[in-house]
Amino acid sequence: MRLDACSAGVPACMFTDVLVIGGGGAGLRAAIEADAHGAKVLLLTKGKLGHSGVTAIACSDRMAFHVTLPETEPGGPDNWRYHADDIYVIGGYVSDYDLAETLARNSADAFYFLDGLGVPFVKKGGKPEQFVTDGSKYARACYTGPRTANEIEAALVRRLRQTSVRVRENAMAVELIVDQGGKAVIGALCMDMKSEEFFTIGAHSVVLATGGAGSAFKVNVYPDGMTGDGYSLAYRAGAELVNLEFIQIGLSSVKTKLACSGSLMRAVPRFVNDDGEEFLAKHFPAGTSPLEIHTTVFRKGASWPVSQREPSRIIDIAVSREIARGKKVFLDYGANPDGFEFDALPEEIKRRYESEKKVPITDGKRRASPLCRLREINPDSIAWLREHGVDLEAGDTIEIAPAAQHFQGGVKINCLAETTVKNLYAAGECAGGQHGANRPGGNALMDCQVFGKIAGANAAQNAKQRSGDKLSKRTIEERCESVRRMVGKDSSEAASRVRERVQELLSSAAGVVRTEDGLREGIVEVEELLRAGVRVDADGMVFALETQAMLNVAKMVMGAAQRRKESRGPHLFFPSPDSTEPLPIDEENWRQYIVIARRDGEMVFERRKSVPKAGSDF
Ligand SMILES: Cc1cc2nc3c(=O)[nH]c(=O)nc-3n(C[C@H](O)[C@H](O)[C@H](O)COP(=O)(O)OP(=O)(O)OC[C@H]3O[C@@H](n4cnc5c(N)ncnc54)[C@H](O)[C@@H]3O)c2cc1C
């Protein structure tokens, strides 16, 4: 690698063939592949490699990696085609079918690569165990346990250390540098997170692998720092983004970030607010029996993310409405919900419960309380919660709220992981178009590996074809100036205040209950904040730049959500604030995705047909 300082007054400048921005599953896989193709690669990451981002840090009760292996259901040489169909059909027909096919066809290769690196997937008789996840038809989910993602990250970091990839830690990409004609990316302006000094990296190809933007929501289960920088960087560089209104949201513990799904629902706890009121019944249609309510709670265990296609969405709506009227909401395992009778539950539910028993108890105890049932079907969750400060045995309740877990959309890519801007690639959660409105659990970790590899290979290939485009001193100076302007207006609000506000706005206007009025008011406020600008405060320059990115993300998410006049996936659009039912899905007019881009300095939203399955009437 050439490492040469530019002329005086210009930030230190380095040059590489391929710059990978992000050190999660997608970024690591891209860097490893680009290196294998003979490119000089530099990987830049906020924080320390292996210790920042979702892949490195997030965990849940059993993290899933979806894969279609030769033996995977429903079997046969074409079984990966069922996987592609599920991504597209369950996704709601608003993703590109060719990308779904790419994911499914390459999933086995991705699995074998990780297996070869020593990721400890659970196996039986030499074959990986596979189970059915939220929103899937077939058992495709492989796992190592609660830390599948972290183990993938660790294995990839070990592999990366054996390559010639250079790593720049604790550094943030703050602006992509485009050429004079504004058509191609030629590098990135970056900032050292400790010294807050700018530096530049010239690159033939840039891979964006910056993950999602969960931190832009007040309630989320992401680790800190996931502020959607990649979405904002791509948008400002002129790339298209897609499907940003589709964000996976589900009920989670506010204190511990634990997704409250599976057995935590199948124990059928009481849903109470801070007045002690058991509130679910009043959000169900009049005349709904307690048995129907308890059955819905049980079924919520198998449909954690809110979705238009799941009747259990009524529970997310009920919780959201309670929070919107200023209440806190809790799961109480100390006593049965009103009118609960275990014996009255439908046979199919009792069979499901039966299959989960780990520490069998007496019939009497099973009928006595949700805590007894949770002890029977998932004692580990009680222990885990206790370790994290919530002691159900001592009478604690779990405060819950709808939390963001995954951005289904992102920077629009094609099958080569190319974005709509030359030399710019995207992979993983930062990329969009490969998932639809719903994302069957397990496909995100797989996506990072499949498109990470593709992005790395094509970025390396592209770099070979380009010769020595240089960053001019003027271009760099201009970019530094524009970044300083972005976070340095006198009239602007302090970054910490803006961040708090944007997080509140996104969680309230673009959470579970979305209304025309709420979204319109949210957009007006975000636009005002964007106009006024973000002022660096005691939290520093990096914090301010991240907050600026969050504002762009908020405008894109709310703008897309406001335009989609139907409900699909997690996007529940209510005609008015007091309507009890969201609009239905509108297959005739809305089997389309919304593409976002910057044209003449303005954010534009365009409805477009996604790539369909060839020769089918999907
Ligand atoms: C609690 C939880 C549970 C989940 N469970 C599952 C599951 O079971 N199965 C599944 O398939 N998916 C699951 N997901 C989703 C999945 O884990 C993520 O989508 C995936 O790990 C994202 O990987 P990534 O490489 O795209 O991004 P990340 O792993 O988030 O990495 C992003 C990287 O980019 C860096 N970065 C960001 N901005 C910048 C910048 N400006 N400059 C430099 N670096 C930057 C970050 O520091 C980080 O290194 C879960 C997510 C969560 C939060």
pLDDT of residue 469: 64
pLDDT of residue 1: 26
Beta carbon of 428 within 6 Å of any ligand 1 atom: yes
pLDDT of residue 544: 96
pLDDT of residue 557: 98
Beta carbon of 260 within 6 Å of any ligand 1 atom: no
Q: What predicted TM-score, i.e. pTM, was given to this entire model?
A: 0.96
Residues 6+ apart with CB under 8 A from 395: 334
Tell me which residue of 206, 187, 102 sits closest to 454, measured CA to CA.
102
From atom 51 of ligand 1, which residue's Cα is the shortest distance away? Answer: 405
**Measured in angstroms, how far is the CA atom of residue 12 from the centroid of ligand 1?**
29
Q: Are 285 and 250 contacting, i.e. CB atoms less than 8 angstroms apart?
A: no
Residues 6+ apart with CB under 8 A from 394: none
Q: Which of 19, 44, 55 to mutate to test the pocket of ligand 1 (most atoms within 8 A of CB)?
A: 55
Query: Cα-flanking dihedrals φ and ψ of residue 347, to 5°?
Result: -55, -40
Q: Which of 29, 210, 221, 443 to mutate to test the pocket of ligand 1 (most atoms within 8 A of CB)?
A: 210
Beta carbon of 202 within 6 Å of any ligand 1 atom: no
Beta carbon of 250 within 6 Å of any ligand 1 atom: no
Rg of the chain taking only CA atoms, in angstroms = 24
pLDDT of residue 531: 92
How many CA atoms are closer than 13 Å to the CA of 87, on its beta-carbon side? 31
Three-state SS string across 578-615, please? CCCCCCCCCHHHHCCEEEEEEECCEEEEEEECCCCCCC
pLDDT of residue 9: 61
Beta carbon of 210 within 6 Å of any ligand 1 atom: yes
From atom 53 of ligand 1, which residue's Cα is the shortest distance away? Answer: 222
How many CB atoms are closer than 10 A to CB 396? 17
Burial class (CB in 10 A: 0-12, 13-18, 19+), 239: buried
Q: Cα(167)–Cα(447) distance, rounded to whole angstroms? A: 23
Beta carbon of 505 within 6 Å of any ligand 1 atom: no
pLDDT of residue 467: 66
Beta carbon of 172 within 6 Å of any ligand 1 atom: yes
Q: Are 13 and 4 contacting, i.e. CB atoms less than 8 angstroms apart?
A: yes
Q: In one letter, which amino acid is 514?
A: R
Identify the three-state secondary structure at position 493.
strand
Q: Is the previous residue joined to 74 through a cis bond, with omega within 30 degrees of 0?
A: yes
Beta carbon of 221 within 6 Å of any ligand 1 atom: yes
**Measured in angstroms, how far is the CA atom of residue 285 from the centroid of ligand 1?**
38
pLDDT of residue 468: 59
Q: Are 571 and 584 contacting, i.e. CB atoms less than 8 angstroms apart?
A: no
pLDDT of residue 409: 98
- Domains of the chain (ranges, CATH numbers): 13-246+408-474 (3.50.50.60), 250-404 (3.90.700), 488-583 (1.20.58.100)
- Quick one: which H or E segment has residue 25? helix 25-36
In this structure, the chain runs to a length of 618
The conformation of residue 334, written as its DSSP 8-state character, comes to: S
pLDDT of residue 3: 30
Full DSSP string of 184-246: BEEEEEEEETTT--EEEEEEEEEEE-----GGGSSSB-SPTT---HHHHHHHHHT--EE-TT-
Q: At what angle do helices 25-36 and 148-160 cross, to 10 degrees?
A: 30
Write out residues in the chain with pLDDT < 70, as ranges: 1-10, 467-470, 489-490, 617-618
Full DSSP string of 367-413: HH-HHHHHHHH-HHHHHHHHHTT--GGGT--EEEEEEEEEES-EEE-
The conformation of residue 43, written as its DSSP 8-state character, comes to: E
**Measured in angstroms, how far is the CA atom of residue 335 from the centroid of ligand 1?**
38
**Measured in angstroms, how far is the CA atom of residue 542 from the centroid of ligand 1?**
19
pLDDT of residue 439: 94
